[in-house]
Amino acid sequence: MPYPDRYAYPDRFYPVVDSLDWVARLTKLGVGTIQLRSKNLDDAQSLQIVSDALEVTKGTPTKLVVNDYWRAAIVAGAKHLHLGQEDLVDADVKAIRDAGLTLGISTHDDAELETALRADPDYIALGPIFPTTLKSMRFAPQGIPKITEWKKRVGDIPLVAIGGIKFEQAREIFAAGADSIAVVSDITQHPDPDARVRAWLGRDAEAA
The pLDDT value given to residue 134: 60
Task: Give 81's strand partners.
Answer: 66, 103
| pLDDT the model gives residue 137 | 61
Domains of the chain with bracketed CATH:
13-207 (3.20.20.70)
The reported pLDDT for the residue numbered 186 is 97
What pTM value is reported for the model?
0.93
Q: Mean pLDDT per 10-residue run, the chain (208 residues)? A: 53 98 98 97 98 98 98 98 96 97 97 96 97 70 96 97 96 97 97 96 62
For 93-101, which contacts have Cβ atoms below 8 Å and span 24 or more sequence positions? 93/119, 95/70, 96/70, 99/73, 99/74, 101/70, 101/73, 101/74
pLDDT for 140 equals: 83
Number of C-beta neighbours around residue 149 at 10 A: 13
Residue 14 is predicted with a pLDDT of 98
